[in-house]
């Protein structure tokens, strides 16, 4: 963890601002890899994750972009309404769960809306190393496409295809993926429906899971809540038992009871709350574990996942 100062705040698109975060006590900030994100500890007590959206070769400052979510869960609204140039924030070390694959001969990047942020960092890294790549960027319009001006006035423009929905331009992921070879890897970031669409197209065409990479923004921990069933939760270390109602997450039940559980995103994305499963069958709702890890049922994200069995025992 370290403190940084906000040294620039600029509009990047409708309802999107970028922030430059600069070191206070040292000349540079820690190195990072393209696709990494940091935790921001906000002045209202919330912790939110934002991707670093600039080239990893430049780590004197960090740059992030924040879209004002409507409705906001409190993070983006606080940043848009309260955060000023000169303010000091605490951030985590960069973390990366969204890597460029070293073995790929060609990289196909898909960005939906504000999902451009980690992909912009990847695209810049690939451009700087003369790697083979293409970027497909979908937004409602140029005014709503963050970094549009920057991208169209740099070397990225030769690698980027824009799709503006309000102008009737829609991504045809089937067509894009059908042109790729077996040595291409794909990377996608954006809303869940966008990711599902691109992955479904790839799987239909027989892409192996190892060539598919995604970063999710704004997972909805209440997804499928109409299907939720209450279940019994046992904590192996303390011996406590709780009932998790259909309308509450495991994390909410534990925090209400005063159980000390580390957490951050509350969206099943960051992995901070991970714990081991000792008995019962989890209903994985997270976007952190791989499909193989979920299938093994050894670990569990209490901020969003539930139980398929009537009871679940976890290592807390
Ligand atoms: S708090 Fe981030 S995955 Fe649970």
The Cα 302–Cα 49 span in angstroms is 18
Of 23-32, 103-112, 163-172, 259-268, minimum mean pLDDT range: 259-268
Nearest atom within ligand 1 for CA of residue 266: 1
At residue 222, the pLDDT reads 41
Q: Report whether pLDDT(120) > 80.
A: yes
Q: Report whether pLDDT(219) > 70.
A: no
Phi then psi for residue 62, to 5 deg, are -110, 150
At residue 134, the pLDDT reads 98
DSSP 145-196: STTHHHHHTSGGGGTEEEEEGGGT----HHHHHHT--TTEEEEEEE-HHHHH
Any ligand 1 atom below 6 A from CB of 265: yes
Query: Higher model confidence: residue 44 or residue 52?
Result: 52
Nearest atom within ligand 1 for CA of residue 263: 1
The Cα 224–Cα 60 span in angstroms is 43
The Cα 107–Cα 123 span in angstroms is 9
Of 3-12, 119-128, 283-292, minimum mean pLDDT range: 283-292
Tell me how far CA of residue 2 lies from CA of 151, 250, 278, in angstroms. Answer: 30, 30, 35
DSSP run (H or E) holding 204: helix 192-204
Only one residue has tokens 């040292």, namely: 26
Any ligand 1 atom below 6 A from CB of 264: yes
The three-class DSSP label of residue 113 is: helix
Looking at the DSSP assignment, which residues form a beta bridge with residue 136?
Answer: 110, 161
Beta strands in the chain (DSSP E): 2-13, 16-23, 37-41, 47-51, 62-67, 88-91, 106-112, 133-139, 160-164, 184-190, 212-216, 231-235, 241-244, 275-279, 282-283, 299-300, 306-307, 311-314
The residues near 292 (Cβ < 8 Å, ≥ 6 apart) are none
Domain boundaries, the chain: 2-91, 106-216, 225-314
For the domain covering 106-216, report its CATH number.
3.40.50.80
Query: 2-91: which CATH topology?
Result: Elongation Factor Tu (Ef-tu); domain 3 (2.40.30)
Q: Report whether pLDDT(232) > 60.
A: yes
**Rounded to the nearest whole angstrom, what is the distance from the C-alpha of residue 186 to the centroid of ligand 1?**
25
Any ligand 1 atom below 6 A from CB of 216: no
**Rounded to the nearest whole angstrom, what is the distance from the C-alpha of residue 95 to the centroid of ligand 1?**
13
| Percent of the chain's residues with pLDDT above 70 | 97
Average pLDDT on 25-54 reads 90
Q: Report whether pLDDT(264) > 90.
A: no
At residue 69, the pLDDT reads 84
**Rounded to the nearest whole angstrom, what is the distance from the C-alpha of residue 301 to the centroid of ligand 1?**
6
**Rounded to the nearest whole angstrom, what is the distance from the C-alpha of residue 168 to the centroid of ligand 1?**
37
As a whole number, the mean pLDDT across the chain is: 91
Q: Report whether pLDDT(104) > 70.
A: yes
Where residue 74 falls among pLDDT bands split at 50, 70, 90? confident
- CATH match for 225-314 among 3.40.50.2020, 3.90.1720.10, 3.10.20.30, 1.10.3720.10: 3.10.20.30
**Rounded to the nearest whole angstrom, what is the distance from the C-alpha of residue 287 to the centroid of ligand 1?**
9
Any ligand 1 atom below 6 A from CB of 270: yes
Any ligand 1 atom below 6 A from CB of 268: yes
Residue 259: name the closest of 276, 242, 272, 277 by CA.
242
Where residue 226 falls among pLDDT bands split at 50, 70, 90? low
**Rounded to the nearest whole angstrom, what is the distance from the C-alpha of residue 112 to the centroid of ligand 1?**
22
Q: Ligand 1: which of 41, 95, 267, 284 to mutate, most ligand atoms within 8 Å of CB?
A: 267
Nearest atom within ligand 1 for CA of residue 269: 3
Tell me how far CA of residue 183 lies from CA of 180, 212, 248, in angstroms. Answer: 8, 12, 44
Any ligand 1 atom below 6 A from CB of 272: yes
Average pLDDT on 196-221 reads 84
Q: Are 271 and 97 in contact (CB under 8 A)?
A: yes
Nearest atom within ligand 1 for CA of residue 303: 4
Where residue 211 falls among pLDDT bands split at 50, 70, 90? very high
């Amino acid at each position: 963890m370290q403190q940084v100062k906000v040294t620039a705040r600029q509009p990047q698109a409708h309802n999107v601002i970028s922030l430059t975060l600069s070191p206070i006590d040292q000349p540079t900030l820690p190195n990072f890899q393209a696709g990494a994100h940091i935790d921001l500890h906000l002045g209202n007590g919330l912790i939110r994750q934002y991707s670093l959206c600039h080239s990893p070769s430049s780590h004197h400052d960090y740059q992030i972009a924040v879209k004002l979510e409507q409705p906001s869960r409190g993070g983006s609204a606080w940043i848009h309404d309260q955060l000023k140039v000169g303010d000091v924030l605490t951030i985590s070390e960069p973390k990366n769960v969204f890597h460029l694959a070293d073995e790929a001969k060609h990289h196909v990047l898909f960005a939906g809306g504000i999902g451009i942020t980690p992909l912009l960092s990847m695209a810049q890294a690939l451009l700087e190393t003369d790697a083979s790549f293409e970027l497909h960027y979908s937004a409602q319009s140029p005014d709503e496409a963050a970094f549009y001006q920057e991208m169209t006035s740099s070397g990225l423009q030769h690698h980027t295809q824009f799709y503006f929905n309000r102008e009737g331009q829609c991504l045809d992921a089937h067509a894009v993926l059908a042109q790729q070879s077996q040595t291409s890897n794909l990377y996608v970031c954006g809303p869940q429906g966008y990711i599902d669409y691109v992955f479904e197209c790839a799987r239909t065409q027989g892409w192996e899971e190892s060539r598919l990479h995604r970063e999710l923004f704004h997972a909805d921990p209440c997804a499928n809540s109409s299907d939720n069933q209450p279940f019994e939760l046992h904590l192996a270390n303390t011996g406590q038992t709780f009932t998790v109602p259909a309308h509450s997450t495991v994390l909410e039940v534990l925090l209400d009871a005063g159980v000390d559980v580390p957490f951050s995103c509350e969206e099943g994305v960051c992995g901070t709350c991970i714990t081991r499963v000792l008995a019962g069958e989890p209903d994985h709702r997270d976007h952190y574990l791989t499909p193989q890890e979920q299938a093994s049922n050894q670990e569990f994200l209490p901020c969003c996942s539930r139980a398929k069995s009537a009871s679940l025992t976890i290592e807390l």
